[in-house]
């Protein structure tokens, strides 16, 4: 059975097979977790992202982790929060599904997700966490190699929100 857990940590320091980057559509770096991952991975990450030609909202792309402890970076573009009237829940769920499916192709056994869209994209964490947790739980039975999924939270408040969402699936 796959272990699901939430932690408060800097995602760029985690020694897992893959970390997920809450990227923008260009994949060329930005603020928040995206900027932190690009800085920690070093300039080769940007060079690996350039030929990918970007990524639409809800989809995912993969690159090596370069200078990160993680072997892979899975880039996904979450929806900008528009009050829930622009298909944001479905697009957010797609981010998690596509990242997990891509991780399965690369035989990832441990993956860490940030709170996709909960930073500058404005998605309320208390609405995003249940979508993240339920989508991951629903997708896991279709994966061959996943042993551990970590929801890496930026703050203690977010950690409590993710732990509450995880408690509903146990």
Q: Give the chain's domain count.
A: 1
pLDDT at site 49:
98
What is the pTM (predicted TM-score) of this model? 0.97
Average pLDDT estimate for 12-41: 97
Strand order in the sheet with 148-153: 3-8, 148-153, 110-113, 18-22, 72-76, 60-64
Average pLDDT estimate for 16-22: 98
Average pLDDT estimate for 63-71: 98
Q: Quick one: how many helices (H) and strands (E) in the chain?
A: 5, 6
Indicate the pLDDT class of residue 116, thresholds 50, 70 and 90: very high
Q: Is the pLDDT of residue 170 over 80?
A: no
| 8 A C-beta contact, residue 54 and residue 71 | no
Q: 86: how many CB neighbours lie within 10 A of its CB? A: 13
Indicate the pLDDT class of residue 1, thresholds 50, 70 and 90: confident
What is the rounded (10 degree) CA torsion for 149, 66, 23, 119?
A: 70
| 8 A C-beta contact, residue 114 and residue 154 | yes
Whole-angstrom Cα distance, residue 129 to residue 151? Answer: 9
* Residue 87 domain boundaries: 3-167
How, if at all, do strands 3-8 and 18-22 pair? unpaired
Q: What is the residue whose two structure tokens read 């892979």?
A: 72
Q: Has 10 been annotated as catalytic?
A: no
Question: Residue 23 maps to which CATH number?
Answer: 3.40.220.10
Q: 5: how many CB neighbours lie within 10 A of its CB? A: 13
Catalytic, out of 10, 17, 34, 158: 34
């Amino acid at each position: 059975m796959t272990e699901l857990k939430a932690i408060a940590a800097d995602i760029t320091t985690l020694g897992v097979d893959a970390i997920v980057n809450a990227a923008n559509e260009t994949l060329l770096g930005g603020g928040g977790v995206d900027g932190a991952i690009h800085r920690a991975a070093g300039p080769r990450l940007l060079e690996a992202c350039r030929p990918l030609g970007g990524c639409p909202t809800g989809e995912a792309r993969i690159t090596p982790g370069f200078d990160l402890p993680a072997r892979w970076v899975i880039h996904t573009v979450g929806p900008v929060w528009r009050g829930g009237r622009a298909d944001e829940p479905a697009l957010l769920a797609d981010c998690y599904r596509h990242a997990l499916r891509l991780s399965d192709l690369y035989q990832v056994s441990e993956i860490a997700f940030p709170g996709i869209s909960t930073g500058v994209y404005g998605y309320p964490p208390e609405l995003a966490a249940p979508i993240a947790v339920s989508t991951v739980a629903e997708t896991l039975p279709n994966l061959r190699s996943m042993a551990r999924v970590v929801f890496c939270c930026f703050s203690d408040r977010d950690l409590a929100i993710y732990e509450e969402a995880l408690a509903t699936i146990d």
